[in-house]
């Protein structure tokens, strides 16, 4: 029997976070906003290398406000990655716009620049209004912004980067979160750092950031009484959770290093196993290694990702397939896109393994033993 369930990416919190929360509580700033919120925004903006950051209740809120800031609304199309979590597409729907899904690069799983270019040619030739492009930094690997941004500029379409999974990653030496007109981070409980629930909008545009803050606080006018000329949202991060985020941010590099250590362990474990590769394109130097997944070619390996998942579940170890592409989701049946089958193949072949920075050496040994036992039984 196991000594407790091993999760994919549980929160990594300790004494630093406890002290920060207690200090924020004792300060009296329990209501939303407060000094910890401002400090968290400054620290994150400095880390990413952009002048403005807006702390929010979730990454989804950041995507919604980012799209609104770009003027996206009904009658427009927003081009985005098919292989992503539902929040990316949901935020587009919140605005009244239509998501248009782009399939994956076969190596990284991120948005295919070639398919993006073809989609924009098709949409603009048909006279459709393309409000934004939302690339997704999948599992902590930045999208190919070196290719995507010139394409977007050529077609005159702004980019909102969904960097929810990629804090601490980079692309050609530039931090994830610094690309596009704006970018969005998530601090959900399973991310590299967490504020329990939370997110952040990052931008170089002061007006864009100010407008996001305005709408995130119910679009309240700066008068003594409650005055509203726009419909706003309750999207601000609380001061207590911002204090937690500040403590987490101080440990970010160490937590990323631990996730890379776990990935190296999986590389070693699966080295030489026929039909199995680590899903990251073979070069994870600029990744944050948020989650490590394997791709299993059953025709070569002789076993399926589901079989390994079942074996891990029997040892009380969590695993999960890659994101089910949005164009395959029941809620988006009939949605348009440019699909070549790549993301569907990755979904069928992929399995994500425990990758959390709080994973103990004993837990790592349990995971490796369970995988080794399964491979030895084939």
pTM of structure: 0.96
Please state, in angstroms and rounded to a whole number, the distance separating the CA atoms of residues 359 and 260.
Answer: 12
Number of independent structural domains in the chain: 2
Q: Identify the active-site residue in 141, 171, 191, 327.
A: 191
Please report the pLDDT score of residue 1 as a whole number: 37
- The enclosing H or E element of 148 equals helix 145-155
Enumerate residue ranges in the chain where pLDDT < 70.
1-2
Is 141 assigned a catalytic role? Answer: no
Beta strand residue intervals within 260-304, DSSP E? 276-278, 292-296
Specify if 287 maps to a domain.
Answer: yes
207 and 263 share one domain: no
CA angle 282, 300, 352 (to 5 degrees): 50
191 and 314 share one domain: no
Please state, in angstroms and rounded to a whole number, the distance separating the CA atoms of residues 101 and 357.
Answer: 32
Please state, in angstroms and rounded to a whole number, the distance separating the CA atoms of residues 242 and 313.
Answer: 35
Please report the pLDDT score of residue 32 as a whole number: 74
Specify if 6 maps to a domain.
Answer: no
CA distances from 77 to 22, 93, 238, 326 (A): 45, 10, 33, 15
Please report the pLDDT score of residue 283 as a whole number: 84
275 and 238 share one domain: no
Specify if 156 maps to a domain.
Answer: yes
Specify if 9 maps to a domain.
Answer: no
193 and 265 share one domain: no
234 and 145 share one domain: yes
CATH number where 33 lies = 3.40.640.10
Please report the pLDDT score of residue 171 as a whole number: 97
25 and 52 share one domain: yes
143 and 27 share one domain: yes
For 349-372, write each residue's pLDDT tens digit: 999 999 999 999 999 999 999 999
CATH number where 272 lies = 3.90.1150.10
141 and 221 share one domain: yes
83 and 142 share one domain: yes
304 and 245 share one domain: no
For 110-151, write each residue's pLDDT tens digit: 999 999 999 999 999 999 999 999 999 999 999 999 999 999
Specify if 5 maps to a domain.
Answer: no
Q: Could you tell me the residue range of the domain that residue 45 belongs to?
A: 15-249
139 and 241 share one domain: yes
175 and 280 share one domain: no
């Amino acid at each position: 029997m196991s000594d407790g369930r091993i999760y994919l990416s549980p929160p990594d919190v300790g004494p630093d976070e406890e002290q920060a929360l207690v200090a924020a509580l004792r300060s009296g700033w329990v209501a939303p906003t407060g000094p910890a919120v401002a400090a968290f925004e400054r620290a994150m903006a400095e880390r990413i290398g952009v002048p403005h950051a807006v702390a929010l209740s979730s990454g989804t809120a950041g995507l919604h406000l980012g799209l609104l800031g770009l003027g996206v609304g009904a009658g427009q199309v927003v081009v985005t990655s098919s292989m992503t979590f539902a929040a990316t597409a949901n935020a587009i729907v919140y605005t009244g716009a239509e998501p248009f899904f782009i399939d994956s690069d076969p190596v990284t799983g991120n948005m295919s620049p070639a398919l993006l270019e073809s989609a924009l040619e098709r949409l603009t030739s048909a006279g459709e209004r393309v409000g934004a492009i939302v690339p997704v930094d999948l599992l902590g690997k930045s999208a190919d912004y070196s290719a995507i941004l010139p394409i977007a500029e050529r077609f005159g379409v702004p980019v909102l980067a969904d960097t929810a999974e990629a804090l601490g990653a980079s692309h050609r030496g530039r931090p994830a979160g610094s690309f596009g007109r704006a970018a969005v981070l998530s601090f959900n409980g399973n991310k590299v750092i967490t504020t329990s629930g939370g997110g952040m909008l990052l931008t170089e545009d002061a007006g864009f950031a100010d407008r996001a803050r305005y709408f995130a606080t119910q679009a309240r006018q700066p008068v003594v009484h409650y005055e509203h000329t726009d419909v706003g949202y309750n999207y601000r991060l609380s001061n207590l959770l911002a204090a937690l985020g500040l403590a987490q941010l101080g440990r970010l590099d160490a937590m990323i290093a631990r996730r890379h250590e776990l990935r190296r362990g999986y590389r070693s474990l699966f080295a030489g196993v026929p039909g199995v590769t680590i899903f990251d394109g073979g070069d994870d130097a600029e990744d944050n290694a948020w989650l490590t997944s394997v791709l299993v070619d059953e025709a070569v390996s002789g076993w399926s990702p589901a079989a390994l998942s079942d074996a891990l579940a029997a040892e009380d170890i969590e695993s999960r397939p890659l994101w089910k592409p949005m164009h395959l989701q029941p809620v988006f049946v009939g949605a348009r896109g440019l699909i070549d089958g790549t993301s569907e193949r990755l979904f069928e072949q992929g399995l994500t393994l425990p990758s959390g920075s709080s994973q103990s050496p004993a837990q790592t040994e349990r995971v490796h033993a369970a995988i080794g036992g399964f491979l030895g039984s084939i």
